[in-house]
Amino acid sequence: LCMMRNLEIERLGLAAMGLGIARRSINVMKGYANERSAFGKKLFSFGQVQSLISKSYAEYMAGRSYVYGLANSLDLNSYGNGLDADGTKLYCANMAKVVSDRAIQVLGGYGYVGEYTVERLWRDAKLLEIGGGTNESHEKNMARDLSRMDHDLE
């Protein structure tokens, strides 16, 4: 009981770390795109930059809803939330890496150097795909749990 419950809590915590990485990446993108100009216009006025930032925000909010929903419903006296514990970690780890990768893209060459934080955020996000169980192990666990589910999704 304790080991399974602790794995669920660990995976939820790692998903929350992914949220933090994504949020910080979005804030860095926003700040840089509002400060930096190219061709006489703020970077935020370019469609590609708008797309990168807006998609990142939408994905962040989806992950946030998933994590907060699971955290709110988690019963610390039992286990049985493995499907969503795996799901939040799988989604948020990948989302954090994609969002931090977009931040590197928005910052251009600055995104790749240690002076800005986004290169570290990308490395931290990549580690989330490995630590606490690889993405592949979460996919396997989720497929197993879904195959055993005796009811339709709501």
- As annotated, the active-site residues are 10
Looking up tokens 């019963």 gives: 75
Burial class of residue 12 in the structure, from the number of CB atoms within 10 Å of its CB (0-12 exposed, 13-18 middle, 19+ buried): buried
Report DSSP state, residue 45: G
CA–CA–CA angle 20, 123, 47 (5° rounding): 70
Selection from 30, 46, 19 nearest residue 107 by Cα: 30
Structural contact between residues 27 and 78, judged by C-beta atoms closer than 8 angstroms = no
